[in-house]
Structure 1
Amino acid sequence: MPSGLLDRLGMSQPLVLAPMSGSSTPALVSAVSRAGGLGSHGVGYLAPQAILDDAAKIRALTDRPFALNLFVLPDEFDEDEAAIDQARASLDALMEREGLAVRTTRPERWAPRFSDQFAALCEARPAVASFTFNLLTPEQMHELRRRDIAIVGNATSLAEVRAWATLGPDAISLQGAEAGGHRGTFLHEPEDAMVGLFALIRLAARAVDIPLIAGGGIMDGRGMAAAEMLGASVAQLGTAFLGCPESAAAAAWKQDIPATEDTRVATIRSFSGRAARGRRNTYVDALEAQAGRLPPYPVMNALTSPLRKAAAAAGRGDLVSEWCGQAAGLARIMPAAELVAILLEEYAQARESLA
């Protein structure tokens, strides 16, 4: 195991908690960090003050290093009024049909300004900052480096790996096609960058001399060891932790995860306006056919927010965005600390077997 990367990221174990925006919590992040891994908190949906508040909560729970993750987005977004009207009509009709007593609203902003979020992240000074959806500017890289914040960029293809490599991050996080949640693709159409994790690791390891974090479909210690054997320095797991009591995933969603069939995991645009991997459910069956006519992220994501909140409160997992990776059926429902202990035991046994 390349000790340099673990030391740089403040880890003693080769395990990263995927930064699951909307599902990660300070309790989940701190549990993984306390166990020697790197807890990552997805803060892409949060306002700047909420980012600072959550960073303080994590520090109150652990003195171990942690990561904050942001979506790299423009500060302002185009508004297609016809697409917005169509989306609102379709969503309102679905909610009425499914018996949910809420309707869409138009928020003051579709999403927080990235520049404000980035400033808050710099003020919070996590040990590690990771970024998805696009590259940082050289100026932003400089701002992080002068605060001694380790930088991790997300890539879904070899071209994206090389693009991040030119900026000199501390590590590159590889998002294989098997990964759950939003696709981080930024140089291609998402369907053109559905590269399997094991292929992506080998391609990236040959192309760049930068430590690699492997994510996508890894649910146990054997998968962690396999990723390492192929050239990754660290394994990143997200879906494996969704069912933990510390996760903010809706209760009904947590119940659905272990029962997810491999053929029911699909690439979905209709929840947020951006390609994401998750479980086909009632919502997806009703709205996905319209995905091409719906507004892009983050507009669609904001419009579906009332429905997702109401569905979660009503125990309707089939109407929330049940993001999950390809191997969701391998999920184990238990507290995060127990899961980390099992994962590391499995990892050690797998390495011993290989030796």
Structure 2
Amino acid sequence: MRTPFAQRLGIDHPLIQAPMSGSTTPELVAAVSNAGGLGSLGAGYLSPQAILEQAARTRALTAQPYAINLFVTADEFTADAGQVTRIRERLDALMVKEGLDVRTSLPERWAFPFSEQLAALREARPPVASFAFDLLTPKQLSALKRLDIYVIGTATTVAEAKAWADLGADAVSLQAAEAGGHRGTFMHAAEDALIGLFALLPLAARAVDIPLIAAGSIMDGRAMLAAEILGAAASQLGTAFLACPESSAAAAWKRDLQTVREDQVTTIRSFSGKAARGLRNRYVQAMPNRPEDLPPYPVLNALTSPLRRAAAAAGRGDLLSEWCGQAASLVRPMPAAELVAVLMREYSQARAGLDRMA
């Protein structure tokens, strides 16, 4: 069934593959788009040149609509030198203890400037652009609209959803408490914005009149339909696609997803300095997690990068940022196109079951 939202975007299914920065590839994005969903390229960590290269690769693999996602951040960052020194000592000691032959270093830059990434996105001109961590400025939004780019904001509360709607966004992705990865919260403390999907959806539907996208550990077609009944125009799935062969998630991470207990998923700051949802593993247990003890994002994210790369190479999932949603163990390792087909078959069967009960 092609919903009005899907028709507007030129896709077949009300299904979006979440833009998981560091784990999505052009191959994954294209596979989902070719299967009728909306593939999303997570570009928050990419240089402007890499954004253009990956966009070109995606377009070479699919003629269907796709999205590029960016993190709305400042162009420049300052870091507390003492805080950086202390966390580097802590990280280096952990790597020594765990037998990893790598140490932290001060990078040339903490992150790529958002304004330059946004300029690259405009040059790539994807049909859809999505954003997290903060609002765009009215000028930035207008520039995207002039290029006929469909803009999706990320919200974790009703107030944030209204802020995006008032700005003029075309749709809002509602990131519920169950969702994996970095929290998109920008108007509240992260802990105050952990609202369950089945509460957040109807509350936001009452408050805004633009399409809402449900995001929060949706792992099968039944959950997609449930979200639609509560007001969602589409569902955005991230963890469900992490174990696909087209995903660039580390092999150890893909393996660990299949055995995650729901009580092991927690809010973590110690990898990046920003609240994110993922698996409470050995690294998380060994590192401080209070904001006051950690450099903020993206400073800490840059400092932990060598450790995460070394852990992935060594097959040490217990030292990785294993982002995942609450129902991660429902993951089904299979090619992305096959997963889209399974999800939509489940969605159709669930809808048919409701129709029989009516």
Q: Deviations over 1:15-57 (max 9, x none)?
A: 0000000001100000100011100111000000000000000
* Structure 1 match to 2:247: 247
Q: Deviations over 1:243-293 (max 9, x none)?
A: 011001000000000100000000000000000000010100000346531
* Structure 2 match to 1:7: 7
Aligned partners of 2:288 and 2:353: how far apart in 1? Answer: 44
CA contact (8 A) 1:10 1:127 kept: no
* Structure 2 match to 1:173: 173
Question: TM-score, normalized by length of structure 2?
Answer: 0.98
Aligned partners of 1:9 and 1:257: how far apart in 2? Answer: 31
Q: Deviations over 1:73-97 (max 9, x none)?
A: 0000121111100110000000000
Aligned pairs (5 A) from 1:15-164? 15-164=15-164
CA contact (8 A) 2:3 2:13 kept: no
Following TM superposition, by how much is the alpha carbon of 1:5 offset from its aligned partner in structure 2, in angstroms?
A: 2.1
CA contact (8 A) 2:2 2:13 kept: no
Compared CA separation, residues 214 and 270, structure 1 to 2 (3 A)? same
Q: Deviations over 1:100-156 (max 9, x none)?
A: 000001111000000000000000000000000000011001110100000000000
Structure 2 counterpart of 1:352, one-letter code? A
* Structure 2 match to 1:264: 264
Runs (4 or more) in structure 1 with deviation over 4 Å come to none
Aligned partners of 1:292 and 1:316: how far apart in 2? Answer: 28
CA contact (8 A) 1:8 1:150 kept: no
Compared CA separation, residues 172 and 103, structure 1 to 2 (3 A)? same
Q: Deviations over 1:194-216 (max 9, x none)?
A: 01111110001011111010000
Following TM superposition, by how much is the alpha carbon of 1:296 offset from its aligned partner in structure 2, in angstroms?
A: 0.4
Q: Alignment partner of 2:288: what SS?
A: helix
* Structure 1 match to 2:317: 317
Matched residue count: 355
Q: Deviations over 1:212-246 (max 9, x none)?
A: 10000100000000000101000010000000110
CA contact (8 A) 2:23 2:249 kept: yes
Question: TM-score, normalized by length of structure 1?
Answer: 0.99
Gap runs ≥5 in structure 1: none
* Cα RMSD after superposing both structures: 1.0
Percentage identity across paired residues of the two chains: 66
Aligned partners of 1:5 and 1:239: how far apart in 2? Answer: 22
CA contact (8 A) 1:181 1:324 kept: yes
CA contact (8 A) 1:21 1:44 kept: yes
1:213 aligns with 2:216: no
Following TM superposition, by how much is the alpha carbon of 1:10 offset from its aligned partner in structure 2, in angstroms?
A: 2.1
Aligned partners of 1:2 and 1:135: how far apart in 2? Answer: 30
Gap runs ≥5 in structure 2: none
Aligned partners of 1:46 and 1:20: how far apart in 2? Answer: 12
Aligned partners of 2:276 and 2:67: how far apart in 1? Answer: 22
CA contact (8 A) 1:268 1:288 kept: no
Aligned partners of 2:19 and 2:318: how far apart in 1? Answer: 23
Aligned pairs (5 A) from 1:297-336? 297-336=297-336
Structure 1 counterpart of 2:266, one-letter code? A
Q: Alignment partner of 2:174: what SS?
A: strand
Q: Alignment partner of 2:287: what SS?
A: helix
Following TM superposition, by how much is the alpha carbon of 1:170 offset from its aligned partner in structure 2, in angstroms?
A: 1.2
Q: Which moved more, 1:9-18 or 1:41-50?
A: 9-18
Aligned partners of 1:3 and 1:209: how far apart in 2? Answer: 16
Structure 1 counterpart of 2:124, one-letter code? A
Aligned partners of 1:178 and 1:351: how far apart in 2? Answer: 23
CA contact (8 A) 1:74 1:113 kept: yes
Q: Deviations over 1:144-191 (max 9, x none)?
A: 010000000000001101111101211100000000000000000000
Aligned partners of 1:175 and 1:289: how far apart in 2? Answer: 22
